[in-house]
């Protein structure tokens, strides 16, 4: 689970971002003491910071510079001052991205996910796989959507893992049967069909209709 520090003095915006981040399986903390942002940063040890420019006491540029003195965590500015000079200033101070207000919170969270993947997916820092707003945790083999846990059998987890890992690509039925066979589970064509259908029903009931698409004669795909 990634930890994201939100440095935003508009409570409505901060709470909206925090709620959506939790729906995506992240943890978040909203700064309350804007005179001591670094104290909260060091206590929380976040994987990423969302940082407004216009803040009480010191602006976001100041805190970006302070964070960069001790950490390389990704920093994304969120600000209504989206002139080119402000964006250039943010990047020069060490920011990794910039999104202008007003913004769609889903777009913001998607950008957060992309930035986190670039920063951490090449290492061993995360067990999370995100796809279309759903989060598969390879550590405890849990699957969540909109903050709700979707219970999976071992076979359903293996099928979903393979499809998410290869998202955008067709995974053949043969490959899926081989995957399940290697787990010491007897699998034939009918067994695979039953498992996929049960998995689809669970996804549909959770609000993920059409999550898995059948490519007849080829296999399955998550677009």
Q: Residue 70: which region, alpha, beta or left (left: phi > 0; alpha: psi -120 to 50)?
A: alpha
Residue 185 has pLDDT above 60, yes or no: no
pLDDT classification of 152: cutoffs 50, 70, 90: very high
If DSSP codes are grouped into helix, strand and coil, which group holds residue 145?
A: strand
**pLDDT greater than 70 at residue 165:** yes
> Is residue 40 within 8 Å of 62, Cβ to Cβ?
no
Give the pLDDT score at 121. Answer: 63
- Rounded CA-CA distance 86/54 in Å is 11
Residue 198 has which token pair?
A: 């049960």
**How many CB atoms neighbour CB 100 within 10 A?**
14
The model scores a pTM over 0.75 = no
């Amino acid at each position: 689970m990634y930890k994201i520090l939100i440095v935003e003095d508009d409570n409505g915006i901060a709470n909206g971002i925090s709620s959506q981040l939790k729906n995506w399986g992240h943890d978040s903390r909203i700064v309350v003491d804007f005179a001591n942002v670094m104290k909260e940063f060091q206590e929380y040890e976040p994987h990423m910071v969302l940082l407004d420019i216009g803040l009480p006491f010191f602006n976001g540029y100041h805190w970006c510079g302070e964070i960069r003195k001790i950490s390389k965590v990704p920093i994304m500015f969120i600000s209504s001052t989206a002139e080119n000079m402000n964006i250039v200033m943010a990047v020069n101070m060490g920011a990794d991205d910039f999104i202008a207000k007003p913004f769609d919170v889903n777009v913001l969270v998607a950008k957060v996910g992309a930035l986190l993947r670039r920063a951490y997916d090449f290492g061993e820092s995360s067990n999370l796989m995100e796809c279309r707003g759903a989060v598969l945790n390879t550590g405890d083999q849990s699957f969540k959507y909109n903050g709700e846990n979707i219970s999976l059998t071992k076979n359903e987890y293996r099928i979903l893992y393979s499809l998410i890992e290869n998202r955008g690509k067709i995974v053949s039925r043969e490959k899926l049967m081989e995957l399940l066979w290697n787990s010491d589970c007897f699998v034939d064509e009918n067994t695979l069909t039953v498992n996929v259908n049960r998995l689809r029903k669970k996804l549909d009931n959770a609000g993920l209709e059409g999550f898995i698409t059948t490519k007849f004669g080829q296999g399955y795909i998550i677009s």
